[in-house]
Amino acid sequence: MRSHFATFALRCALAAGLFGFSVGAFAQQTLKIGWLSSLTGALSAAALAENEGVKQAVEEINKSGGVLGRQIELITRDTAGDPTKAVNFAQQLAYSEKVHAVIGPVNSGEGLATTPILARAGVPSIVISVVDELADPKKYPLAFRVVSTSQQWLTTANDYAVKTLKKNKIAIIADTSGFGTHSSKQAADILKKSGGEAVYTALVDPNKTDVTDEMNKAKAAGAEIVMTWTSSTGLLARLLNARGDMGWNVPIIGHPSLMATQIRKLLNKPAYWANTFAPGYASTTYGPDGKVPERTKALIDRMRPKFGGGEIDLTFWWVTMGYDTVKVIEHAVKTAGSFEPAAIQKALENTRNLQGVYANYTWGPNERNGFPDSNMVMNAANTFKDGSFQMAPR
C-alpha cells in the first residue's frame, strides 16, 4: 500500500513539472492580499474607516466569483502606528504569507519604513501614505499610490489660508512622526513661496496631554491661522480645546483628520469645532443640490445596514479609499490576466481614468501618483453629516 502511495505521489510531482506549475502553486487557491493597518493606537482614526471599505470590497468581489476564479484572502495585521511593527509585519506578509499584493500601511512614518522592504521582496503595493517620496517609479516600481499626496493636502490648505482667507502669518503645529516632521517643513516651504510666513513652528508628541503652551506661543507670535499636520485625533482635539478655552477664535486649518468624527466626542464644547477647515474630496462633499456623487451614494446605501441603518458616524472618504484599494488590485489582476508582479505593474502603468468611488485613477510608466488634483476641495469640519461634508466658505 505504501508502494502504491509513493507511486501516486511521484506521478503527481511529474505531472506538476510537465504542466509548468509547482505543487505549492497548485495548492494556493486564493488571491492573497496583505493589509497593514493601524487599527489601534493614537493614529487609528483613518485606519478604522478604511478597514470598513477594504472589507466591503473583498466581500463584494468574493460574492461575485472572485478574481480570475480565486477568492480573495485578506490577511490583516494591526501595526498600532508603530513603524517597527509595520516592518516586521511587512516581512511576514512578503516572505511567510507570500501575498500577491499589500495595501498600506496607513501612516507615512510606517510607509517610509515598509515600502523599501516590499519593493525588495517584489510584492506590488497600494500606497495609502501621503509622503511624496513613496511614489518613486525607479526605487519602488511596484508601488502605486491611490491616496492624495501630502503636496496636494498642503497646497490645498495653504491656498485656502493665503488666497481665500487672505492670512499670511501662520503657526505650524505638527506631530513628531515621520509624516509630521516632513509635513511641517514642507508646509513652511509652500507658505514662503506663496508670500506667507511661518511665525511659529512646533513638533508635538501626539500623546502630549496639554498643548496650551504651544497655542499660547502661537498667539504671542501673531499667528492669524494655526495650521496642524497630524492624523492623531486626540492631539487635534486638544488643540481645538486649547483654542476654545483661551477664547481665541483663530481659524485652524490642516490634516483631514480635523474632520474625523472621533474629535466631536473629545471636544469640551461642540462650538469648538467651528472655524475649522481641512482638505477634503469631491467624492464626499455635498454639491449645491445637497447630494454626494452617485457612486458615493451607491456605496453608502450598500453599507448603511452594516452601520446600524441610521446616519453614518465615520468619515466616509476613508471608507471609499479603502474600498478602492481592493478594486484597484482586482482591476490590475484582471487586466493582466495574471497574478505575477511584473504583469500587475504593467497593467497599472497602462491604467487611464479608472473609475473608483474615492477618485478616478491614472498611472503611467513614470507616474505612481494616481489621485487627480481636480478632486481636492476644502471642507468645513463642523458640517459633518452622514459621513460627508459641506464645502468651506469661499
Query: Using one digit for the tens of pLDDT, what is the confidence trace for 124-136?
Result: 999 999 888 888 9
Assign domain 151-287+377-383 to its CATH architecture: 3-Layer(aba) Sandwich (3.40)
The pTM score is 0.86
Mean pLDDT value across residues 189-197: 95
Q: What is the mean pLDDT of residues 181-209?
A: 95
Most confident option among 23-32, 253-262, 339-348: 339-348
* 157 within 8 A of 376, measured Cβ to Cβ: no
> How many other C-beta atoms are found inside a 10 Å radius of the C-beta of residue 115?
25
Closest-CA residue to 330 (of 37, 91, 65): 65
In this predicted structure, what is the pLDDT of residue 28? 54
For the chain, percent of residues with pLDDT exceeding 70: 93
Residue 359 has pLDDT above 60, yes or no: yes
> Residue 3 above 70 pLDDT?
no
Closest by Cα among 181, 172, 178, 237 to 200: 172
Q: Who has greater pLDDT, 42 or 94?
A: 94
Question: Is the bond preceding residue 116 a cis peptide, omega within 30 degrees?
Answer: no
The grid coordinates of residue 323 equal: 474600498
User: What sign has the CA pseudo-torsion 283, 104, 116, 334?
Assistant: negative
Cβ burial 351-375 (10 Å sphere, 16+ → b, else e): beebebbbbbbebeeeebbbbeeeb
pLDDT of residue 43: 77
User: In this predicted structure, what is the pLDDT of residue 253?
Assistant: 98
Domain ranges of the chain: 9-149+316-373, 151-287+377-383
Q: Which residue from 166, 281, 185 is spatially nearest to 225, judged by alpha carbons?
A: 166
In the chain, what is the greatest distance between 2 CA atoms, to the nearest angstrom? 88
The CATH architecture one would assign to domain 9-149+316-373 is 3-Layer(aba) Sandwich (3.40)
Overall average pLDDT of the 143-161 stretch: 96
| Residue-averaged pLDDT of the chain | 92
Task: Cell numbers for 375, please give them.
Answer: 478632486
